[in-house]
Amino acid sequence: MILPWLQRKGMIMADKTVDAIALLKADHRAVEALFEKFEATNSKSKQKAVATEICTELVIHTMIEEELFYPALKGKIEADLLDESYVEHDGAKLLIGQIVAGEPEEDFYEAKVTVLSEEIKHHVKEEERPKEGMFAQARATDVDLVALGAAMAARKEELKAQFKGNGLPTPTARTLKPVKIALGEPVA
């Protein structure tokens, strides 16, 4: 599904090498489709399956960005964009943890998936914004985006295999400090 889209957009080479930005954009489109699929179903078992797929895709996506893409851009694009991206990832990870640990029958489950979708839409808009966004700035650097894309694709496949065998790990926050929070009575 994604490969033909990338080929039509000229983002995939004859040898099927994808540059880093094309890989990330393909992930964005795939997750957008999953959120739409979640919204279209009322089946609790299908909601759980789709939500788990969304969370898995997002954990893998954030890991390849944080391990490879963002470090390659450090010092080459606006520092504020990178900082905000790490914080946005961590906000999403909090919801991912709640969704993975929850069940569709629980109060606020669907609301958590909806809010995660909204957070991801904002994050994608920031990355893909023409001229000023992270991807536009990355294209203006000397970073070899094809080599980086190959490394990211390899890491992505490695993570998929790992998660298939061991399940989804607890998301790792990089910008948040532990804080005490009191849990009040559940909303009635």
Instruction: Give residue 61's identity as a one-letter amino acid code.
Output: H
Domain extent listing, the chain = 2-166
User: What's the pLDDT tens digit per position in 7-35?
Assistant: 444 444 445 678 999 999 999 999 999 99
H helix runs in 74-187, sequence order:
79-101, 109-128, 134-139, 145-166
Rounded distance between C-alpha atoms, residue 49 and residue 16, angstroms: 30
What's residue 11's pLDDT?
Answer: 46
| 48, two tokens | 């759980």
Rounded distance between C-alpha atoms, residue 151 and residue 122, angstroms: 26
| 86, two tokens | 């790490």
In this predicted structure, the answer to whether residue 58 has a pLDDT above a threshold of 50 is yes
User: What's the pLDDT tens digit per position in 124-178?
Assistant: 999 999 999 999 999 999 999 999 999 999 999 999 999 998 988 888 999 999 8
Tokens 């470090």: give the residue.
71
End-to-end, the C-alpha distance of the chain in Å comes to: 43
Contact 25, 59 (CB under 8 A): no
Contact 37, 172 (CB under 8 A): no
Provide the whole-model pTM: 0.89
What's residue 178's pLDDT?
Answer: 87
Q: With pLDDT > 70 as the criterion, what percentage of the chain qualifies?
A: 91
